[in-house]
Amino acid sequence: MKIILASNSPRRKELLEKYHIDFTVVPSSFEEKFFSDDPFVTTVSLAIGKAQDVFDKSSKNSVVLGADTVVFFNNKIIGKPHSEQEAVKTLKLLSGNTHKVITGYAIISESGIESGHSESRVTFNRLSDSLIADYVKTGLPMDKAGAYGIQDGFPLVKKVYGSIENVIGLPARKIAAILKKYQRYPT
Q: Most distant CA pair in the chain: distance in Å?
A: 54
Do 71 and 157 form a contact (C-beta atoms < 8 A)? no
- For residue range 18-43, what is the model confidence (pLDDT) as tens digits? 999 999 999 999 988 877 899 999 99
* Residue extents of the structural domains in the chain: 2-184
Q: Does domain 2-184 have CATH number 3.40.462.10?
A: no
Residue ranges in the chain whose pLDDT is less than 70: 184-187
At 184 the pLDDT is 59
Question: Of the residues 22, 37, 38, 68, which is catalytic?
Answer: 68
Distance CA 125, CA 137 (A): 19
Q: What pLDDT does 59 receive?
A: 85
What are the backbone angles phi and psi of residue 154, rounded to the nearest 5°? -105, 145
Where are the alpha helices (H) located in the chain, listed in sequence order?
10-18, 39-55, 84-94, 129-137, 164-168, 172-184
Respond yes or no: is residue 68 known to be catalytic.
yes
Closest CA to 105 of 59, 164, 145, 47: 47
SS3 69: strand
Report how far residue 79's alpha carbon sits from residue 183's, in angstroms, rounded to the nearest whole number.
Answer: 33
| pLDDT of the residue at 182 | 84
